Every structure is written in structure tokens, then in C-alpha cells.
Amino acid sequence: MTEDDVRNGFAMPIYNPAYPPGPYRFVDREYLIITYRTDPAVLEKVIPAPLKMTEPIVKYEFINMPDSTGFGHYCESGQVIPVSFEGEAGSYVHSMYLDDHPPIAGGRELWGFPKKLGNPKLQVDKDALVGTLDYGSVRVATGTMGFKHKALDPDPIITSLGGPNYLLKVIPHVDGTPRICELVRYSMTDISLKGAWSGPGALTLVDHALAPVFDLPVLEVLSTVHIIADLTLPLGHVAHDYLS
């Protein structure tokens, strides 16, 4: 292997990367999103500058991805926070737990997604849509929604799915100091909405030292949405370099 071969490597391990090059297409991606009000003082402490808190709101997401380029079938769960950046509304991805190595490796290395290994599920249980997240043997999140009670206007959903999202990407140097420390921006593209519904919802979070979703407590559930869509995750770009 020549030095040029090494420089042209895409990912690790270089001889057999954990994931293929992007962009990545998702078919029949299914969301359960429970929006809730939380403690503003606690929320403000986890939002990295220069992002700014807009409201004391968190979106808890359970996502089933049965058909995704290079990643196969996996599930994901975590917390997304509405924010603003330079006056524009967007979302900051605060935590993610999933059950498949390639998207964990690719998500962290390429964009800086805050991915950790967990065991999330999203399924229909008779008349309810149920999302769960287990960390190890401990159930740390349970979300429920009445199944397809009311169809929603597609336009606001498509706009929301295509909005700007922000990630904090930190990769250390070999001495442990930050080598990369960036705010990364990305937006979903080529969105084909197949359905969106609302219904009564509930969310329970449990305290856990290594999966601290409970640190952003649920004070009031504001809305619950069920979405099915095809969309593409492109590569991102650096919105802010903390080391420059």
C-alpha cells in the first residue's frame, strides 16, 4: 500500500471500512416524535455556543430505519433540541442511541452524531405506537402514541424534516487534546413524505448514569407525531470551528 493509497482512504479500518461512502438514502424511515417542555435552566447548559436556546423544548425521537444505504436495518432513539444559529431556526442533536455498528461509526466519524450503543425499538402494539430504549438491561425511555388518530398537513412536516440540523463533532489528538472541534450542519434532502399523523402521547424517562436522557426532564408533553418518509442524508459542512 503506497502513501497515496493511504491518503485516499475513506474510513477505518482502511482495508475494510465499517461503512460505505455517502450520501445515504433511507426508505420507509419511521419516526415517533414526542415534543415536551423541560427545565430551561438545565436545557441551556447542554446547548453549545454559538447555538442559542429558543424555547425550553425537547423532541424525543424513536426512529425505525428498515432500508438504509450501507447500514441495513437499524433503530435509533434520542433527544433533539430546537435552537437558533445566526438568527435561523434549526435543531441540535443532543443524544442518540442505536443498535448497529456501521451507523454508529459513520455517524460519529463523518458528521459528529452523538451516537452510543443501545437497544431502541419502535413498533405497533394493538392500537398504540410504542417506542422503547434499553441501555444494557435497563429500560430508560418509553414513548406511546395513539395509532394514526389524525392525519396531518404534509407541508409543515416536509419543511421540518428538511430544516438545518447541528452536531458537535469532537475528535481527539493522540495526546488526548482536541484535534477537531467543530459545529457541523446538515439537512435532509429528496424528501418523499408517505404519511404523518398525530395522536395522544406519553413519555417516561428513567435516570441512568450512562444514558442520561432523564437529565432533560419531562414537565409537559406538548405534541406527538408519527411520520413515514423516504429521504437522503447528505454529507455535512462546518458551520463553526472552535479551534480556528
Cell 424511515 belongs to residue: 29
DSSP bridge partners of 189: 232
Grid cell in block for residue 108: 460519529
**Burial class of residue 80 in the structure, from the number of CB atoms within 10 Å of its CB (0-12 exposed, 13-18 middle, 19+ buried):** buried
- Based on the residue annotation, tell me whether 45 is a catalytic residue of this protein: no
Strand partners, 17: none
Residue 181 Cα distances to 99, 104, 112, 147, 227, angstroms: 26, 19, 10, 41, 33
> Which positions ≥6 away from 103 have C-beta within 8 Å?
19, 68, 71, 74, 76, 115
Instruction: Kindly name the residue from 115, 116, 150, 169 that is annotated as catalytic.
Output: 115
- Give catalytic residue positions: 115
